[in-house]
């Protein structure tokens, strides 16, 4: 096998590989002979199908599979021989006649040189928080809100009431919808509907109707209303007030606490909040360390294709999230995501380099703990555990996350860390 490397810019590489044709022929022949022992064809006993028949029937498929496998195999050999570590997916192009010689080129990017990475010089702020009794009280109140029921009332609506609404909009003399009305329901103050409509509902009883000016968002699902101010006719058809359940034995048992005892219920709530807090603090620490690492190596050039690929992935995810929320969006431009993508790529590469230089290995115990933590939030934990164990993609994603957490923890232990106290509520807020 012959291998040559050409530099394309500072981080791009073009690897040219040529492999003797007999190596491909040998791989094809081996696959054909194996298939002849296992194939079942009419007119032949199992394991007695002649190789020539197998070649006539499956030759093209076998050759394609052997070719692709040989490319993967020799590409790995060539990288090891040249001491190269690609980042991102390589672009592989076949060249020439494989019957004479298997030749291909692989274009890819490599990680930049970061020089010395002295994590002990990093000054980081480590967030710390704990679960207080007041946090447990707040969570129990939230659980009551989730189990609330609604009683129809004749009075005017006020904040916190559930109101059934009918409405239609008029702009430039055109009505939306053209016929009938749109029906919806909202808890006043929840912003389930547009703020101007929710504000209008306060003081309205069932059967009341009023017209208000409403400014529609630029991404509104009805194109004719998007970014426009329209007159909206709002009618309240039903008003209901909330009824919260008492925190009694039945309420407690409904959350799986068989004893129905308040003390045990609060202990369960504390345990769940503590688990949630641990994850939030870990996420905040990862962001803090990543930001400081990126800032320390802001001068290092990053692989441009890798950054662009990350930006496109972020744009696609943003578009998918918008569609799930009912927004009518097309392809999202990736340019606004480039800065965030650079930070992600930089953090990932630096963390990976720290792991490599310090020979940090994935801890199977932490992987098991992570699976158990995820599974504990579901009704049937074992089913979730089995799902991860049997899905290589899910497991690979989890292992990557756990490995990143390990490296971040390793860095944080050696950095100049200052503890910053936070409340439980602040710790769980998304990072700015």
Q: Mind listing the pLDDT tens digit for each residue in 187-206?
A: 999 989 999 999 999 999 99
Distance CA(88)–CA(306), nearest Å, equals 6
DSSP-derived 3-state class of residue 150 = strand
- What are the residue ranges spanned by the domains of the chain? 2-110, 119-133+252-428, 149-243
Give the integer Cα–Cα distance in Å for 377 and 388: 14
**Residue of 215, 207, 271 whose CA lies nearest to 239:** 207
In this structure, what token pair is assigned to residue 5?
């490397």
pLDDT band per the 50, 70, 90 thresholds, residue 98: low
226 token code pair:
């998007």
Of 70, 61, 12, the closest CA to residue 39 belongs to 61
Distances (CA, A) of 368 to 12, 150, 160, 407: 38, 43, 43, 17
Relative to beta strand 229-243, strand 162-171 is: antiparallel
- Token reading at 382: 């074992």
Judging by beta carbons within 10 Å of its beta carbon (0-12, 13-18, 19+), is residue 404 exposed, middle or buried? middle
Q: Give residue-wise pLDDT tens across range 51-66.
A: 777 777 777 888 888 8
Q: pLDDT tens-digit profile of 166-177?
A: 999 999 999 999
149-243: in CATH 3.10.50.40: yes
Label residue 43 by pLDDT band (50, 70, 90). low
- What is the reported pLDDT for 124? 94
The answer to pTM > 0.85 is no
Q: What is the number of alpha carbons within 13 Å of residue 409 lying toward its C-beta?
A: 14
Superfamily of domain covering 2-110: Trigger factor ribosome-binding domain (3.30.70.1050)
Residue 279 pLDDT class (50, 70, 90 cuts): confident
Q: Return the pLDDT at 97.
A: 62
Q: Does domain 119-133+252-428 have CATH number 1.10.3470?
A: no
* Angstrom distance (rounded) from CA 71 to CA 103: 9
For the residues 315-336, what does the mean pLDDT come to?
83
Whole-number average pLDDT of the chain:
90
- The reported pLDDT for the residue numbered 324 is 81
User: Which tokens in the block code for residue 350?
Assistant: 């630096």
Q: Evaluate whether 106 touches 17 at the Cβ level (below 8 Å).
A: yes
The pLDDT, as a whole number, for residue 183 is 94
Backbone angles phi, psi at 192, to 5 degrees: -70, -35
- What is the band of 376 on the pLDDT scale with cuts at 50, 70, 90? confident
pLDDT at residue 432 is higher than 60? no
Query: pLDDT-derived band of residue 373, with 50, 70 and 90 as boundaries?
Result: confident
Lookup result for tokens 């970061």: 114
What's the farthest any 2 CA atoms get from each other in the chain?
Answer: 88
Cβ atoms of 127 and 136 within 8 Å: the answer is no
Tell me the pLDDT band of 94, cut-offs 50, 70 and 90.
confident
| Nearest-5° Cα angle at 359, 353 to 360 | 85
Mean pLDDT to the nearest integer, 233-240: 97
Structure tokens belonging to residue 267: 């202990």
């Amino acid at each position: 096998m012959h291998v040559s490397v050409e530099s394309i810019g500072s981080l791009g590489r073009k690897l040219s590989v040529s492999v003797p044709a007999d190596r491909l022929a040998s791989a094809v022949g081996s696959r054909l002979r194996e298939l002849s022992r296992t194939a079942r064809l009419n007119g032949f006993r199992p394991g007695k199908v002649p190789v020539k028949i197998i070649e006539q029937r499956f030759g093209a498929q076998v050759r394609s599979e052997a070719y692709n496998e040989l490319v993967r195999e020799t590409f790995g050999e060539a990288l090891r021989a040249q001491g190269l570590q690609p980042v991102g997916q390589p672009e592989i192009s076949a060249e020439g006649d494989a019957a004479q010689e298997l030749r291909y080129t692989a274009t890819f990017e490599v990680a930049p040189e970061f020089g010395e990475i002295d994590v002990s010089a990093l000054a980081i702020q480590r967030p710390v928080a704990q679960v207080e009794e007041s946090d447990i009280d707040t969570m129990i109140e939230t659980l009551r809100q989730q189990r609330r029921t609604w009683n129809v009332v004749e009075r005017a609506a006020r904040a916190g009431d559930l109101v059934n609404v009918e409405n239609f909009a008029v702009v430039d003399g055109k009505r939306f919808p053209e016929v009938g009305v749109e029906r919806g329901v909202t808890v006043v103050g929840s912003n389930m509907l547009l703020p101007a409509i929710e504000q209008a509902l306060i003081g309205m009883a069932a059967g009341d109707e009023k017209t208000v000016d409403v400014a529609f968002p630029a991404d509104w699902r009805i194109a004719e209303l998007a970014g426009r101010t329209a007159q909206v006719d709002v009618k309240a058809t039903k008003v209901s007030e909330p009824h919260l359940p008492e925190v009694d034995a039945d309420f407690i048992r409904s959350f799986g606490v068989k004893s129905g005892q308040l003390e045990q219920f609060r202990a369960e709530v504390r345990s769940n909040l503590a688990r949630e807090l641990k994850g939030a603090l870990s996420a905040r620490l990862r962001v803090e360390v990543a930001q400081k690492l990126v800032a320390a190596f802001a001068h290092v050039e990053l692989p441009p294709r890798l950054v662009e690929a990350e930006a496109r992935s972020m744009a696609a995810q943003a578009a998918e999230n918008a569609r799930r929320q009912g927004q009518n969006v097309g392809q999202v431009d990736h340019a606004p995501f480039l800065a965030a993508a650079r930070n992600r790529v930089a953090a990932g590469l630096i963390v990976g380099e720290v792991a490599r230089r310090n020979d940090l290995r994935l801890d199977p115990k932490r992987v098991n703990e992570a699976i158990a933590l995820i599974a504990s939030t579901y009704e049937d934990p074992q089913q979730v555990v089995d799902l991860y164990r049997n899905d290589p993609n899910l497991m690979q994603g989890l292992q990557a996350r756990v490995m990143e957490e390990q490296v971040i923890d390793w860095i944080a232990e050696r950095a100049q860390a200052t503890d910053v106290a936070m409340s439980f509520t602040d710790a769980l807020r998304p990072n700015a």
